[in-house]
Amino acid sequence: MEGAAWRSLPNSSRTWLYTADRVLTDEEQSALCAGIESFLAEWVAHGQSLQASWRLEGGRCLIIALDDRSPNATGCSIDTKVHWLQAFGEEWGVDWMKRNTVTYYDEQISAWSDMMLASFWAARKAGVVGEDTRLVNAVVSKKLECEPTLVCAFSMSWHEEMWR
């Protein structure tokens, strides 16, 4: 799912990634889509409209992209975005703010799972996480890095560089 303006934003657009602590239900996804579209249509920085859109991947990874040709998001406008998402999370029982987890595809259960970062490194050391383990690239900063997907192999992630 993606916002009405997602495809028209340049690939150089700044992005923020928020991963929900679980897959959203269809009802929650519909509510998120309507809510985030409405919020972004009115998102401003110092009275200037921000040209932004969103994409929801896998029912739990929300990418918000800001056109780099529009005014820069400021601390206050970024806070407003975070507060909106936190309020949505409180209303629907979703935590978007866990930052010390890695979302990866667990082949043993054929589903996406989360693991605390320290446990993820232990799993890598034990050989549970391999070069081909798919994970969400949580350090994207530009829209281009989200296309066509947020998912990459461990060997192509920032984790690989840290592993060396």
Residue 2's nearest CA partner among 64, 44, 86 is 64
Last residue of a domain, one of 73, 92, 111: 92
pLDDT in tens, 67-79: 988 878 888 889 9
DSSP assignment letter at 22: S
* CA gyration radius, the chain: 16
Check whether residue 112 and residue 88 sit in a common domain: no
* Tokens encoding 124: 């890598």
* Tokens encoding 43: 């998102």
Total number of domains in the chain? 2
pTM of the model: 0.90
pLDDT in tens, 30-56: 999 999 999 999 999 888 889 999 999
Q: Note whether 155 and 134 are within 8 A (CB).
A: no
Check whether residue 44 and residue 68 sit in a common domain: yes
Check whether residue 74 and residue 106 sit in a common domain: no
